[in-house]
Amino acid sequence: MRVEKTDDITWVARNNLCYGCGLCDIICPREAISFHITNMGRLKPAIDYTKCNGCSLCLKVCPGMDDGNLILDALAGIEDPFTGSTLSCHVGMASSEEVYINAQSGGLVTQTLRYLFDTEQITHAVLVYMQYGKPPRPIASVVTSPEQLFDTQKSTYVPVNLLSALKTIPATNSSIAVVGLPCHMEGILSLDNLGKAAHRVNYKLGLMCDGILTYIALNYFEKRANVPSHIPYRIVFKDKARFNYLDANITIQQSDGRQRHINKEERFILKKYLTPPRCLICFNKMNLFADLSYGDPWHLGTSIPSHGLGVVISRTSRGYQLVVDLERKRYAHLNSISYTDFLTGQEIEKRKRRVAKGIRDYEDLDLHLPTYYATLLRDHLNNYRPSRHHSNYVAKFLQTEEARVDRIVDHIFSKVKRTLFLGAMKGKVKSSLRSIASLPP
């Protein structure tokens, strides 16, 4: 049955449209909003009604629902919202060896921040830091000097209510850069629209995003690697400093210095069970609303060194100028490439199929969708619609979410084990067939 409309973001959450950007948390005049973690490990906003004054501001600004059509308006004039438009596209790496080796891809995000700090164009940067914990939790972190950037490098593939951290930055005499996923940038788009001087973001450095995993993935890794019960740990989701960039496995760093490793294959299998529903209907993989979008140079045909390369795309004139400066002032080594060539490695067609399927899942459950989907469906997804008879991922996810956390972890554990077993058997059969085929008749 349709979820009845309320005047606040509980309506967004009940329609599974919240992606946990944190915007409502910073704009609520009564500090009534907080986040909790559901059994399936996603972020969900909650309102303390003893504080709430019923102003509805949280709902009006929420980009997850886009009740005010802000994203719909921002998409006007963009030919394809799944790819966006660009002023420049470069592949390259940080000129600092230390930043490059410690980075997720080419270290271009961190070098951009270093440049902005060195030239005093920013006083604060908002980004993500993975703390040690049991299980560990990444947090939105505010840094005020380039020396603090090293510890925040690499990609974190679980939810972070990033924009909440803006609350801690003084409203005057600060100039801010935010590094964030496309949904975080959609939050900033909405924040900009409010026109408030406080929390004004000066530079939007966007990461491309194919989706995250819920926090249950962290419980899974802990169990899988047999981390001793008394030892806190943290996760490096793609450890290219230890493994080859193209083959980077997961590293678990224990607080006692010991490291454990899990094959990257398992992270991909987890996506089948632990992708938050909201990611399935997110069109914005390429981070359209950032000044710069950063990603990986998959299938570009360029030879990639073992520590990888990064791609940076400028979407605004401010972003374009930054790329020029990074190259001129030798913060990065960059080569211009074609955006069309870059897009082939990003599997945009696959993303369109995923969104079309996610939309059908939502529709079948009678959940609301953001208003821009009427246009997206008509113009870009009509050829990708699955049949009504496909299995509904969102329904299964919501059903599993009702179980206890330990049961969910056990359930996911057995699912992954089974997939790995079947994969190994398939490999054995294939290699036997190959050896039979190579025998002389």
Ligand X SMILES: Cc1cc2nc3c(=O)[nH]c(=O)nc-3n(C[C@H](O)[C@H](O)[C@H](O)COP(=O)(O)OP(=O)(O)OC[C@H]3O[C@@H](n4cnc5c(N)ncnc54)[C@H](O)[C@@H]3O)c2cc1C
Which residues are at the interface with ligand SF4 (CB under 6 A)? 8-9, 12, 18-24, 28-30, 32-33, 45, 47, 52-58, 62-64, 181-183, 187, 209, 211-212, 278-279, 282, 284
CB of 199 to ligand SF4, least distance (A): 13
Q: Which does 156 bind (CB under 5 to 8 A by kind): ligand X, ligand SF4, none?
A: ligand X
CB of 288 to ligand SF4, least distance (A): 11
Q: Which residue of 105, 249, 275, 284 would you call a contact of ligand X, by CB under 6 A?
A: 105
CB of 31 to ligand SF4, least distance (A): 8
CB burial of residue 292 (10 Å; 0-12, 13-18, 19+): buried
Q: Which does 278 bind (CB under 5 to 8 A by kind): ligand X, ligand SF4, none?
A: ligand SF4
Q: Is 110 in the site for ligand X (CB under 6 A)?
A: yes
> Using CA atoms, how far apart are residues 293 and 297, in angstroms rounded to an integer?
13
Q: Is the dihedral of CA 283, 286, 287, 288 positive or negative?
A: negative
Q: Is the backbone peptide bond immediately before 386 cis, with ω within 30 degrees of 0?
A: no
Q: Which does 154 bind (CB under 5 to 8 A by kind): ligand SF4, ligand X, none?
A: ligand X
Buried/exposed 139-150: b ≥16 CB within 10 Å, e otherwise: bbbbbeebebbe
When the beta carbons of 41 and 64 are compared against ligand SF4, the nearer one is: 64
Tokens of 411: 């359930």
Find how far residue 53's CA is from the centre of its chain: 32
CB of 377 to ligand SF4, least distance (A): 17
When the beta carbons of 99 and 376 are compared against ligand X, the nearer one is: 99
Site residues (CB under 6 A) for ligand X, limited to 310-369? 310, 346
Pattern 186-225, binding to ligand X, x per CB under 6 A? ---------------------xxxx-x-------------
When the beta carbons of 92 and 277 are compared against ligand SF4, the nearer one is: 277
> Using CA atoms, how far apart are residues 280 and 358, in angstroms rounded to an integer?
5
Q: Tell me how far apart the terminal alpha carbons of the chain are, to the nearest angstrom.
A: 64
Part of the chain binding ligand X (CB under 6 A), chosen from 7-15, 37-45, 151-159, 168-176: 151-159
DSSP code per residue over 44-59: EEEE-TTT-----HHH
User: Any alpha helices (H) in 195-316, and if so which ranges?
Assistant: 216-224, 264-274, 277-280
Q: Is 295 in the site for ligand X (CB under 6 A)?
A: yes
Contacts of 245 (CB under 8 A, 6+ apart): 105, 304, 305, 306, 307, 308
Q: Which does 206 bind (CB under 5 to 8 A by kind): ligand SF4, ligand X, none?
A: none
Whose CB is nearest to ligand X? 295
Tokens of 153: 């490098």
User: Closest Cα partner for 57 from 176, 194, 233, 180?
Assistant: 194
Q: Is 107 in the site for ligand X (CB under 6 A)?
A: yes
Which residue in this structure is represented by tokens 């990611």?
279
3 state SS of 43: strand
CB of 346 to ligand X, least distance (A): 6
Q: Is 80 in the site for ligand X (CB under 6 A)?
A: no
Q: Is 157 in the site for ligand X (CB under 6 A)?
A: yes
* Residues of the shown chain interacting with ligand X in the complex, contacts defined by CB under 6 A: 103-110, 127-128, 152-157, 160, 162, 179-181, 207-210, 212, 294-296, 310, 346
